[in-house]
Amino acid sequence: MSEVNNQPLFLEVGNSAWKAARFNPTAQALEACGRGNTQDHLYQWLQQQPEQQLVLATVGAEQEMVDLLAKLKQQGYQALRAQTTEIAGFEHCYTEPSCLGVDRWLTLLALRESKLPVVVIDAGTAITLDLMDVGGKHLGGWIAPGLQLMQEALVNRSSRLKASEQVPMGLIGVTTESAIGLGCKAALQGFCEQAVVVANEQFAGRTFNLYLSGGGARYINSSTLPNCQLRPLLVLEGLYAWWQEQL
């Protein structure tokens, strides 16, 4: 059996997409190995992989997750599902830690040993902001509709409006569809730039690192954001760190 098969497969299953990664012991890092949009596709994809041990972070309809895990168990998979809890090196700001979304929690776990304060913007189905001070102290954050949800919320209120299938290029729209896409993209950018303003206030002008993650991060103009790093596997990095704590 190859070395990769001795490691579990790490999965992030969100509201509208999933992604998978393996740990590469040579590079000492996670490497993306699969992604898709439906649970059926995920199940089919897993049948083609060598791993039978899965470590999951799931966000979405709870019953669907329960059904998926039951189906995997019937097929001989061993699945370990992460849940938000107390953990060494991380201080919750929520009175009830379990109310903090596991995806947000895992992005922070991945960065809890940072020598600088941390700002995380995860642009997925929802766009979230989280601030964490040195020492793993979570200060809180924001949650807002993601780029696709913003467009859907608008067009669902009127039969006359349609969203662009792809976010258009340019600065201003010359059709209703492109105007909607570009307007929502501007709202996403404004979320990020206002997050920097708030972070400067919260950290009293101290230098911080800003991390962008999620599928919508490609629509963010990072050149306007200070100390910005793209970390597309940040939830999975946190999932790996959580899994190591369980060993």
Note if 133 is an active site residue.
Answer: no
Catalytic residue chosen out of the listed positions 40, 67, 103, 122? 103
Residues in the chain: 247
Computed on alpha carbons and rounded to an integer, the radius of gyration of the chain in Å comes to 19
Residues involved in catalysis: 103
